[in-house]
Chains A and B, each alone.
Chain A
Amino acid sequence: MTTRAFQKIYTKIDNITKATVTLRAQGVGNDELATVGGKLAQVVKIMGEHVTLQVFAGTEGLATDSEVIFHGEPPKLRVSDNLAGRFFNAYGEPLEGGEIVEGEEREIGGPTVNPFKRLQPSELIATGIAGIDLNNTIVTGQKIPFFADPDQPYNAVMANVALRAKADKIILGGMGLTNDDFLYFKSVFENAGALDRIVSFVNTTENPPVERLLVPDMALTAAEYFAVDKGEKVLVLLTDMTLYADALAIVSNRMDQIPSKDSMPGSLYSDLAKIYEKAVQLPNGGSITIIAVTTLSGGDITHAIPDNTGYITEGQLFLRNDSDTGRVIVDPFRSLSRLKQLVIGRKTREDHPQVMNACVRLYADAANARTKLENGFDLSDYDERTLKFAHDYSEKLLAIDVNIGITEMLDTAWTLFAEYFSKEEVAIKEELINKYWKKA
């Protein structure tokens, strides 16, 4: 960040709290950046001549005579094609040294796309994972998070999805990423030879938490450059949004705001929506698709973070360890992709919607049968068959390490139906049964 010669330097800070400093200054704009004792800060409140600044890296070591220089502008990112293949910190500065990217400066957290100018998402993103492609198909321009417990391999699944998704650019926004995970992403993308398609903005656990608040906006400003200016299909990966929300809570707490549910700020919904709603299908063919991770605590989705996220995103994907097969699966009950209706049976084979529903219904029957079994009751013949079906369904389709095309998934489902059930039990439209029922 450069400063300009005519800028006034303030050297008297009135108040210092853990995250903010207040001083007397004039001509300061709201949201403007400043440097306080060499640390980056942003204006969050102006009261007469009292200006309150939020210091991203924390106020440790600042003194009342620390130098304060206002930059006269909100946070910006220089955008150009040269962003590709680079790793940046939360401020958009190159991580491993290297040249500063030349290009047009853009304000981050910019305006909203006019909803009337959006297009309806209609392009399927194939991932090869049946728990996604068959049951919860993802579409370009969609925003969908993985809801996962910290012990689940969500980052690995996400990296897999990103590489298979055939996106023009993949933008990684890492918040509170452990250094190990960061290196993992780096090596996966490198090994896949995809590094030239990747742009990363990373705040690791080694960096101050409040800095994370800049990461999604940085990532999405870069995404908008490639999608809007270049008409590219951009996939944005945000991990972990729970840590982002925690940083929001820290700031709001230090600014004496009244917390709402689960100690989260009352504006959590709007704060998260501003990020997720950047997902868009543009008229020029470009698109921004957001796949995020929201880690849960003990699978609790009623906590304010996953709860608000669920109301914003277009569905959610749950990972679960299936005890029956010992594989990690995408949970068919709790996962949902709201935009799948736009492509299934339209961009995929006609029987897709009904097959998908029948599978889930039969899988639910299996869950009931298992409950019966656990309670010590005898199982009916039908119950036994649903259990066998559930095992095969989980192993051949739901497991995240299965990688097959959608038509093959549908054929596999029909084979399983014919193997374990009668036509009536499957209860699918008769025309489809006549056409696709596999004679065993």
Chain B
Amino acid sequence: MNFVYEKMMGGKKGLTGFLILATLILVIFPLFLDIFRLNLVGKYLTYAFPAVSLVLLWGYGGILSLGQGVFFGLGGYGMAMFLKLEASSVENTKIQSTPGIPDFMDWNQLTSLPWFWEPFNSLTLTILAILILPAAFAYIIGAAMFKRRVGGVYFAIITQVIAVILTILIVGQQGFTGGINGITDLRTLNGWDITTDSAKYIFYFINVALLLSVILISRLILTSKFGSLLLAIRDKEDRVRFSGYDVSNFKIFIFCFSALISSIGGAMFTLQVGFMSPSFVGIVPSIEMVIFAAVGGRMSLIGAIYGTLLINFGKTAFSESFPELWLFLMGGLFISVVMFFPNGLAGLWDDYGHYITDRFSKSKKTKEDSPEIVKKKSDESAA
């Protein structure tokens, strides 16, 4: 029990933060928001998966990936392909010239299901694909890059190019992927209607449960020896290498893990929103995920979730009323978070939060050495 308390919860401070977050998204949101708004929050919370993965990868590992959208997209498309195949049963697609294949394939004169769609007839294989494929893909990229000691800006650019390639492929190969519209009209999961309110509630809670478990597992990783090594690699990679560690394997692992998390987020996105499209894969969504993590605080797992929620609420509110102001605001946010608040909301809380907490409890708290407050102004210059 003590192990769980110290390692997963991160001691008293970590536990408090975790409980506040859990209360907010498990109790307060479902109680006070109607199902439409709650579904929207659920969608935002799926973006929190890649944001949390970037805290691990970028905040702690010093590896900036501008391609997390790729993994988010792979997970999302995996789930969407399964749902689409189920929606395109022979009875549902009688009017097509080839019944039994997804409608966009029929529009593009395909007469049979492409081979890589076949495994997605089975839910088990789909879930396996969502869990394994992105991680395997990340392994290939990571092994090729980190073994050759490519890092820093180069890695960021290459991951960005991969995001571009995948987007162009999805848009260009309309017959196989649904093109720019993506995969739409997803209705049932193993015969269960996913568009009903009750299904939306259930998915919301599954999503939150997954997200909270991701946070706990990530904490476990960060408080282990691996976590300390990761920080050490970020700050002085050469010294870790000279101490006899194979630096690249650690980097590959954290990259694969971050890909896995993002992919789960993508799959949950498809289930809650009911479609998947290339606009969640490319450069812009990928870099927005970075800003979610940066605003929340690149060193704070929980902060990433608040950052994601805050920016997406802001985006929805602003793009409804002042669409032209939003880009200015977003740009300003990028600049100011980098220049003035490199530790994001979590950093602000660490610096000024005690003014608030002091009011509630008169006793002065000593700061514990949880990973959230390991502050390092020096950055990715480790490379």
Asked if A and B are interacting partners, one says no
User: Interface of A with B (CB < 8 Å)?
Assistant: none
B residues bordering A, Cβ < 8 Å?
Answer: none
